[in-house]
Amino acid sequence: MKISERVVLKFPKELVDKPTISTLVRKYDIEFNILQAQVLPQKEGLMVVVFTGEENIVKQVLKDLKNQNVVLQRLKQDIVKDDRICTHCGVCIGLCPTNAFYYDQSTRKVLFDYEKCITCMLCVKGCMVRAIKIKF
């Protein structure tokens, strides 16, 4: 069964300059999408990644990362938008670094594309009416 797993990866400084992800992609032929990354030479690296593939392959990739001392945290927090409360003011559109929030001209409403969301939570902090929340 094909699954997608959203994961925060914290790389030790010894691995930051190594091709860790590309090696796993070649080894397991797995799809991945980097949602967010902060990688600096000689410091720890942080990436938010979505791995997509057969469940056993995704589990093996995560196991390999752990064996390389990469700290893994599955993203259990999801951003949700409550359309009953939303005033469609558009503040979230300006805050969102991935354009997960956008304005629909035909309905004149702010829409949310979960697949683009990296759970940075800028929208949660910026929503004046608290229509955007974290779902645990």
- Express each pLDDT in 27-54 by its tens digit: 999 999 888 888 877 788 888 888 999 9
Average pLDDT of the chain? 89
- Comparing 87 with 79, which gets the higher pLDDT? 87
With left for phi above 0 and alpha for psi between -120 and 50, is residue 39 left, alpha or beta?
beta
| All domains in the chain, ordered by first residue | 2-74 (3.30.70.260), 78-135 (3.30.70.20)
- Percent of the chain scoring above 90 in pLDDT: 51
Determine the Cα–Cα distance for residues 123 and 93; give it in Å rounded to an integer. 8
pLDDT score recorded for residue 77:
64
Phi (first) and psi of residue 119, to 5 degrees = 55, 40
- Comparing 136 with 123, which gets the higher pLDDT? 123
pLDDT score recorded for residue 62:
95
pLDDT score recorded for residue 136:
58
